[in-house]
Amino acid sequence: MRRGTIVRWGVPIAAAAVIGAAVGAGPVIAAVSGEPVLPERTAAQLLADAAAAVKKAGGPPAMSGTVQQTASLGLPALPAQGGTASPLALLSGSHEVKVWYGAQDRLRIALPGQMSETNLIVNGDQTWYWDSGTNTATKVKLPAKPEGDQPLATPSPTDLTPQQVAETFLDRVNEDTGVSVTNTAEVAGRSVYQLVLTPKAQSSLVKEVRLALDGENYVPLQVQVFAKGSAEPAFQVGFTQVTFSPPAEENFAFTPPAGAKVEEKEFGQLQEPGADHSKEAEKAAEQVKVVGNGWTSVAVLPFKQDGQAQESREAQAAKLILDQATPVSGAWGSGKMIKTKLVTALLTDDGRLLAGAVTPDELVKVAGQ
């Protein structure tokens, strides 16, 4: 080969190398960045600081950013959903949401779709839900909030010191969970502390849960759930881009555009207009029995396989998954086993549905009880 030829073809090869490096650089840098920039903390210190920061600021600081949710549960790919808003769609693939957070009562969440966008805008006592797909603006009437309702940790942070909160939490958790802290990780370009929770139970499918807290203001930036035997998180939700500064005011101002349908709805009716799922859900919740505790809890609930309502997308998806289930049987009877990376479910022929983040063996054991 002539020297010129080699030199010439070196240019596109170099271009490919540069592009490849640029594409691959993100994850590699994240994995290699071993230099801890944050001081070391124990889990108790970290939690205490986080609780103190939340208490002092009275909530997370003003911020905006992009949140990405990725799930690779090992489910069979579901048929394409009409709208990305369907909760089932969140079970596979990756989804992006834009968030603007001004204060406790100023929030905008946008779900961009192909040539469409769904928005939830909370501004003071006004809450709007805008769906460009149906050209509908919905004014949401929130149910009257019970006074003193705290969305955060169960033991109210007001009557405990942050240290106490941290210790209470760790005591409760320590029985079946290993807790550690790393200070080397980075999320959305910010140094974070990662609180790593590792289940001690052998039969749990969860390897570890990683909660990333911002190194400066302790805002949770990412949650990752790792399944046993895989290096990639089975479920992940976190910021891919975040800035801690008050977002522009116009993000929270919403007036229904001219020509749009304007509706008014109660909070509970938002998801499925017409169908009231809350009653069914309540009824189902009464029948659920939880066996075991901690990471190895298994939910047992009655499950009826009926031939009705097959038209709905959810039913079709459920059927698709059931078709791929493996039949199992034992002394307890027989049924169909669905195994994903994180969750195992067993549908017995006598009409029980058992589900939990446990190994199939554990599930069969519970079924036999």
Q: By the criterion CB under 8 A, which residues form the site for other proteins?
A: 2-5, 7-9, 11-12, 14-16, 18-19, 22-23, 66, 77-78, 80, 82, 92-94, 110, 112-117, 119, 128, 130, 132-135, 137, 248, 250-251, 254-260
Nearest residue (CB) to other proteins, 130 versus 295: 130
Nearest residue (CB) to other proteins, 28 versus 288: 28
Which token pair is 186? 């980075």
Q: What minimum distance in Å lies between the beta carbon of 201 and other proteins? A: 32
Nearest residue (CB) to other proteins, 135 versus 326: 135
Q: What minimum distance in Å lies between the beta carbon of 305 and other proteins? A: 26
Which token pair is 327? 């039949």
Which token pair is 302? 């009655």
Q: Which of 160, 214, 216 is nearest to 169 (CA)?
A: 160
Report d(CA 87, CA 179) in Å as an integer. 31
Do the bridges between strand 186-187 and strand 177-182 make them parallel or antiparallel, or are there none, so unpaired?
A: unpaired
Report d(CA 219, CA 63) in Å as an integer. 10
Nearest residue (CB) to other proteins, 131 versus 208: 131
Q: How far apart are the first and last CA of the chain?
A: 74
Which token pair is 193? 């502390």
The answer to whether the beta carbons of residues 134 and 261 sit under 8 Å apart is yes
Q: What minimum distance in Å lies between the beta carbon of 19 and other proteins? A: 5
Task: Report DSSP state, residue 200.
Answer: -
Q: What minimum distance in Å lies between the beta carbon of 12 and other proteins? A: 4
Q: What minimum distance in Å lies between the beta carbon of 83 and other proteins? A: 8
Nearest residue (CB) to other proteins, 48 versus 78: 78
Q: What minimum distance in Å lies between the beta carbon of 69 and other proteins? A: 14
Report d(CA 11, CA 15) in Å as an integer. 6
Q: What minimum distance in Å lies between the beta carbon of 5 and other proteins? A: 6
Q: Which helix (H) or strand (E) holds 138?
A: strand 136-141
Nearest residue (CB) to other proteins, 84 versus 348: 84
Report d(CA 369, CA 352) in Å as an integer. 13
Q: What minimum distance in Å lies between the beta carbon of 275 and other proteins? A: 18
Nearest residue (CB) to other proteins, 91 versus 301: 91
Which token pair is 111? 């779900």
SS3 83: coil
Q: What minimum distance in Å lies between the beta carbon of 106 and other proteins? A: 16
The answer to whether the beta carbons of residues 204 and 358 sit under 8 Å apart is yes
Nearest residue (CB) to other proteins, 92 versus 164: 92
Q: What is the DSSP secondary-structure string of 267-285?
A: GGGSSSSS--HHHHHHHHH
Report d(CA 63, CA 355) in Å as an integer. 37
The answer to whether the beta carbons of residues 178 and 156 sit under 8 Å apart is no
Nearest residue (CB) to other proteins, 245 versus 308: 245
